């Protein structure tokens, strides 16, 4: 007897990644030789696994459970179920979690997977850190890699597409997702960590990770760190001068998490966070991060924005703001006649939409938003609305395939 189990409904090895949000799976009898009755099986998380842990859902409406009992038809017809990471138990390495399928005491199969979660950068293991850094350095490829497109997306030319209007949060969510998926092509075990800018992060600002800065603002790396070869615009290195003590504090004078979440339960209020803490996080440094046109030259930009996005995700969870149809989930500026192009729910977002020429920027480098073997959303040309339902709570197909370590699904 043999079984087949598809995580994210895919046989692709690159699809064996789940987050806190349930991923649809299928299981079936691939070889029912010798069986005369449908086979009852029990699914459970592989015990003793040091890293990630899985939980199961019979359906999206069901509660998560440590085990799941299913009956597999002799015909080989698939049975659907859902698996997710157990909140609080993310993986630390690829394939460190597994689904065990047993029929009685007989182990029918063990299916490795990874509970891939965006984590606090300051708390990554050495392995997680090194894999992330290696993938990011590879993506930059000494200035000649695809990262150049991401740098080009966040310059003065494109800045009105992404800032100063309600689309700020959805645009950056798409931007981070695109980057993360590109990194996952290099190393699928990588997830984008976040810099918790209201807290000290000495591990992040170290030679083995994102470097420590000297008095001039030159960032130094250890000799084993490939980020020492980081280059943008033809100039090697990173210019970053913290205006605060990275060993003992977070950014300067900015709202902490509790204060940020206290902006209010309407998006029109919450988007004020673009100034504080987001803007103040940027200007807690001298150097590239502190100006919009150069901010993306520093890879720390993406960890800063991952925290901005996490704060949005937390706010969404707190007030259940996932549905684009709900007025409080977004700022439509209906009374004013709508937002600037690129900032309305139905607008596709530059550069992924490839639309150029006034009022959009003159070119749209980089092509469509990267796809994922795990989920189909948001597609190569995401609209603003596609960024809201990132966990697929309104429509399961809207799931974007990422989660934060401290923002649960259930």
User: Which member of 32, 72, 148, 306 binds other proteins (CB under 8 A)?
Assistant: 148
β-pair partners for 69: 42
User: Which member of 23, 100, 288, 307 binds other proteins (CB under 8 A)?
Assistant: 288
User: Which member of 30, 31, 272, 318 binds other proteins (CB under 8 A)?
Assistant: 272
Closest CB 238 distance from other proteins, rounded Å = 11
> Residues binding other proteins: what is the number (CB under 8 A)?
84
User: Which member of 104, 202, 264, 379 binds other proteins (CB under 8 A)?
Assistant: 264
Nearer to other proteins, 361 or 387 (CB): 361
Closest CB 130 distance from other proteins, rounded Å = 8
Binders in 80-109 for other proteins, by CB under 8 A = none
Closest CB 381 distance from other proteins, rounded Å = 14
Nearer to other proteins, 112 or 338 (CB): 338
- Antiparallel, parallel or unpaired: β 17-18 and 106-115: parallel
Closest CB 319 distance from other proteins, rounded Å = 14
Closest CB 384 distance from other proteins, rounded Å = 14
Closest CB 399 distance from other proteins, rounded Å = 28
Asked if 78 is part of the footprint of other proteins (rule: CB under 8 A), the reply reads no
Stretch that binds other proteins, among 28-36, 76-84, 100-108, 145-153 (CB under 8 A): 145-153
Among 103, 130, 99, CA closest to 115: 99
Asked if 157 is part of the footprint of other proteins (rule: CB under 8 A), the reply reads yes
Binders in 203-262 for other proteins, by CB under 8 A = 214, 216-218, 220, 222-226, 228-229, 231, 233-237, 239, 243, 252-254
Nearer to other proteins, 365 or 408 (CB): 365
User: Which member of 4, 28, 46, 149 binds other proteins (CB under 8 A)?
Assistant: 149
Q: What x/- string results for residues 124 through 143 when contact with other proteins is judged by CB under 8 A?
A: ------x---x--xx--xxx
Asked if 286 is part of the footprint of other proteins (rule: CB under 8 A), the reply reads yes
Binders in 308-367 for other proteins, by CB under 8 A = 333, 335-340, 356, 358-359, 361-367
Nearer to other proteins, 196 or 239 (CB): 239
Nearer to other proteins, 268 or 394 (CB): 268
Binders in 158-197 for other proteins, by CB under 8 A = 159-160, 163-165
User: SS in 3 state form for the chain?
Assistant: CEEEEEECCECCHHHCEECCCCEEEEEEEEECCCCCCCEEEEEEECCCCCCCCEEEECCCCCCCECEEEEEECCCCCCEEEEEEECCCCCCCCCCCEEEEEEECCEEEEEEEEEECCECEHHHCCHHHHHHHHHHHHHHHHHHCCCHHHHHHHCCCCCHHHHCCCCCHHHHHHHHHHHHHHHHHHHCCCCCCCECCCCCCCCCCCCCCCCCEECCCCEEECCCCCHHHHCEECCEECCEEEECCCCCCCCCCCCCCHHHHHCCCCCHHHHHHHHHHHHHHHHCCEEEHHHCCCCHHHCCHHHHHHHHHHHHHHHHHHHHCCCCCCCHHHCCCCCCCCCCCCCCCCCCECCCCCCCCCCCCCCCCCCCCCCCCCCCCCCCCCCEHHHHCCCCCCCCHHHCCCCCECCCCCC
């Amino acid at each position: 007897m043999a079984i087949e189990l598809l995580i994210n409904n895919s046989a692709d090895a690159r699809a064996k990644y789940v987050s806190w949000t349930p991923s649809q799976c299928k299981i079936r009898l691939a070889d029912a030789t010798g069986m005369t009755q449908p086979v009852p099986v029990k699914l459970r998380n592989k015990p003793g696994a040091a890293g990630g842990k899985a939980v199961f859902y019979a359906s999206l409406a069901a509660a998560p459970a440590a085990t799941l009992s299913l009956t597999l038809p002799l015909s080989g017809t698939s049975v659907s179920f859902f698996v997710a990471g157990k909140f609080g138990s993310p993986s630390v390495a690829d394939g460190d979690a597994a689904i065990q399928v047993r029929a009685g005491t007989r182990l029918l199969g063990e299916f490795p997977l990874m509970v891939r979660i965006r984590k606090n950068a300051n708390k990554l293991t050495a392995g997680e850190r090194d894999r992330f850094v290696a993938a990011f350095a590879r993506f930059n490829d000494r200035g000649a890699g695809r990262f150049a497109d991401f740098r080009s997306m966040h310059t003065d030319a494109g800045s009105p597409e992404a800032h100063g209007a309600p689309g700020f949060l959805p645009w950056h969510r798409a931007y981070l997702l695109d980057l993360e998926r590109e990194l996952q092509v290099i190393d699928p075990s990588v997830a984008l960590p976040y810099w918790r800018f209201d807290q000290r992060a000495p591990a992040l600002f170290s030679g083995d990770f994102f470097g420590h800065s000297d008095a001039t603002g030159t960032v130094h790396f250890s000799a084993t760190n490939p980020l020492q070869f980081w280059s943008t615009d033809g100039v090697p290195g990173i210019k970053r001068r913290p205006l605060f003590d990275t060993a003992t504090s977070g950014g300067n004078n900015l709202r902490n998490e509790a204060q940020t979440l206290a902006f209010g339960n309407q998006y029109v209020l919450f988007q004020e966070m673009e100034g504080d803490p987001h803007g103040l996080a940027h200007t807690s440094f001298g150097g590239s991060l502190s100006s919009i046109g150069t901010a993306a030259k520093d890879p720390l930009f993406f960890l800063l924005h991952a925290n901005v996005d996490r704060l949005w995700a937390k706010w969404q969870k707190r007030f259940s703001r996932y549905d684009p149809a709900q007025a409080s989930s977004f700022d439509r500026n209906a009374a004013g006649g709508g937002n600037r192009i690129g900032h309305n729910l139905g607008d596709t977002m530059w550069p992924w939409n490839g639309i150029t020429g006034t009022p959009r920027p003159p070119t749209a480098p980089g092509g469509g938003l990267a796809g994922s073997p795990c989920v189909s959303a948001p597609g190569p040309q995401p609209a603003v609305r596609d960024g809201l339902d990132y966990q697929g709570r309104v429509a399961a197909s809207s799931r974007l395939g990422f989660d934060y370590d401290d923002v649960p699904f259930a």
